[in-house]
Structure 1
């Protein structure tokens, strides 16, 4: 059981490293749009809540808690949906990585046959809708976590 958990965590870390390398290598999304989440824009956040509720909450939860045992692969070999609150790893990624993961999905970003239950939303949501949903998520984080996330964004653009 312990080895299974270590393997699952290793897989998550490897996927994150690959994704970060893809995005950090360019510093921009694939369509050269700079991405900046706006958790203080109340109109955008309200729009984001509707989008999140309709497209994300079924897996990540209306309370952002994600699925149980999200660090361990399920019997089907896929990782459950992680939480988007301060207990998860969402806030550890800069805006651009979050945008790319949402738009294209982990499988497309990582490639090499990687499988994920998370679909890409490029044919479902506009870029503005993706930014709105991510801005809504960020607006729900405690202030300390938002500030730390801002620092992560600053480091990513240097």
Structure 2
């Protein structure tokens, strides 16, 4: 005979797996489905992005994209400091569409609505073109090897959608 405690644990596990699957499907549908292409080789886009970054992003992420000190450790209020957007950070680990969504809609896109963060959403502040310009500026500063790896990741993501 199976104990009621074991049945409850199994039920919680099943519900957790189902919820995790639903979250993954939602993220995949909302983050990867529409193509966004950064333009780090377009000088006019990069110039605009540099200006928009200076006004909206540099105060937290640094004027040299260096991020805040101890960016991988939560601070006293439980938030993570702003990460670097240069090659030492993890920005380039994410595809263009996810970077766009994170900037526009906030970290709730991947971490959930209850995630504690100081990162604002820019949906009502920046246009889609300004967000693409900022991200294009950031990408334009990465070493060629990292840009190539990032491009390959974006291509693999696009190929998987076909």
Calculate the TM-score normalised by the size of structure 2. 0.78
1:31-110 → structure 2 map (5 Å cutoff)? 32=34, 34-107=35-108, 109-110=110-111
Structure 2 gaps of 5+ residues are 1-22
Calculate the TM-score normalised by the size of structure 1. 0.80
Change (3 A) 1:47 1:21: farther
Cα deviation for residue 21 of structure 1 reads 6.3
Structure 1 gaps of 5+ residues are 1-18
CA contact (8 A) 1:59 1:81 kept: yes
CA contact (8 A) 1:23 1:96 kept: no
Question: 1:17-73 CA distances to partner (integer Å, 9 max, x unpaired)?
Answer: xx9865434523xxx5x2100000000000000000000000000111100000000
Match of 1:142 in 2: 143
Cα deviation for residue 156 of structure 1 reads 1.6
Match of 1:10 in 2: none
Cα deviation for residue 115 of structure 1 reads 1.5
Runs of 4+ with deviation above 3 angstroms: 19-26
Match of 1:13 in 2: none
Cα root mean square deviation, aligned: 2.0
